[in-house]
Amino acid sequence: MQMQNLKRYFIIPTGPKEVYNALTNKKMLEIWTGEDAVMEPVAGTPFSLWGGSISGVNLEFEENRKIVQQWFFGEQDEPSIVTIILHPDKKGTSVELRHINIPEEAYQNISEGWEEDYFKPLRELFI
C-alpha cells in the first residue's frame, strides 16, 4: 500500500492558547464540529471526532503548542501520525499540520477534509 505525507499551514485569528483549547477540550470540539467528540488531553488516551468518523490515540501534548495523534485507517503497517504545532503569528496563530502515512486511496479525501471540515470551521469559530 502506497503512503502519502501532507504538510500544510493554516492561520487561525486567535492566540495559540485558544486554538489549543478548541482542539483539546471535548466541549469546544463539539461546538465547532457540531458532533460528538471523545477527547482528553492526556497521552495514551483514545479520541474520536465527528461522532467516530475519525478515531485514534493521543500520543503527546505540549500545552498551547503541540498535539500529536495516531489516526486509525483500518489495517496499516505504518501508523498514520498527525502533528499539529501552534506558532504565534501577527494574525493570531499559524497552525503547522503534518500528517504522515496516509493511505494513497484516502489522500485526496483527507487533504480536502483538513481544509473544509477541520480548519475552516475552526477558523470560523474565532471570526
pLDDT in tens, 82-108: 999 999 999 999 999 999 999 999 999
> Helix, strand, or coil here: 13?
coil
Residue 93 lies in a domain: yes
pTM of this prediction?
0.94
For 102-126, write each residue's pLDDT tens digit: 999 999 999 999 999 999 999 999 9
> What pLDDT, on the 0 to 100 scale, is given for residue 74?
73
Average pLDDT over residues 28-56: 96
Count of structural domains, the chain? 1
- Cell numbers placing 5: 505525507
Report the side by side order of strands in the sheet with 80-89. 3-12, 92-103, 80-89, 66-71, 54-62, 46-49
Burial class (CB in 10 A: 0-12, 13-18, 19+), 53: exposed
Residue 4 lies in a domain: no
Residue 3 lies in a domain: no
78, pLDDT greater than 90: no
